[in-house]
Amino acid sequence: MTRRSELEDLILSYAVLLLLFSDFEPVKMPYVAPAILTAFVFHEIAHRQVARHFGYVAFYRRWDTGIILALLLGVLTKLTTGRAWIFAALGAVHIYAPYQYWEDRYAEGLISLAGPLANIAVATIGLLISKLFGGFFGLIAWYTALINAWLAFFNLLPVPPLDGFKVLRWNLAYWAVGMGVAFLLYNIT
C-alpha cells in the first residue's frame, strides 16, 4: 500500500460521503464539504496516527462493496423517500503488527476510540462556533457539529466491526462515556 493509493482511497470515500451527506443536492455541498473533511478524514487519520504511535503499520483502505452499497442505498432512498439514507462504512484503517503475535486490547481500544474522540472534539468546537456566528460560517459550523456528532455516535455503536464494539470489549466505562457524549452532542445539534 502506498501513500498515493491511501490518498486515492480517502478522496473516493470522501466524495461518496459528500454526495450522501449533501443529500445529492449541489447547493448543500459547500456547507457539507468542510464537515465531511473533519468528520471522515480526521476520524480515519486519528485511528492511523494512534496505531502508528503503538508501532503498527497502519493506513486507510476503501471498501468497494461498502461504497457501492452506500451509493445504491442513498440513490434508492432519495428517489423513494426524498431523502438519502446514509451508510457510512466505506473503508477502514488497516493495522498490521508484523512482529507481534498477540492481541493488545489496550492498544486496540485506544486506536478504536481515537476516531470517535476526534469527532467529539470537532463536534464540540463546531457547535460552539455555530452559536457565535450566523450566516455562511455559522451554517458550516452547524453541519460540521452535526455530522461529527453523528459519525461519533454511529461508530460507537457496539456492533462488530465498528469502533464501539472494540472499545466496549476493552473498557466499558470509556465506551459508555464516549457513547453518552456522542449521543448528547448529536441530540443538541
Q: What is the mean pLDDT of the chain?
A: 94
- Classified as helix, coil or strand, 51 is helix
Compute the average pLDDT of residues 49-62. Answer: 94
For 140-170, how does the pLDDT look when each residue is reduced to its tens digit (9 = 90+)?
Answer: 999 999 999 999 999 999 999 899 999 999 9
- Classified as helix, coil or strand, 92 is strand
In this structure, are residues 147 and 21 in contact, taking their beta carbons and an 8 Å threshold?
Answer: yes
Q: How confident is the model at residue 101 (pLDDT cuts 50, 70, 90)?
A: low
**For the whole model, what pTM was predicted?**
0.90
- Residue 102: the pLDDT is 61
Domain that holds residue 82: 3-188
Hey, which residues are catalytic here? 44
Which residue is it, cell 476526534?
Answer: 118
Instruction: Give the distance, in angstroms, between the CA of residue 64 and the centroid of all CA atoms in the same chain.
Output: 17
Confidence check: pLDDT of 14 > 90: yes
- Residue 1: the pLDDT is 57
Distance (Å, rounded) from C-alpha 184 to C-alpha 153? 9
- Residue 31: the pLDDT is 93
Structural domain total, the chain: 1
- Classified as helix, coil or strand, 10 is helix
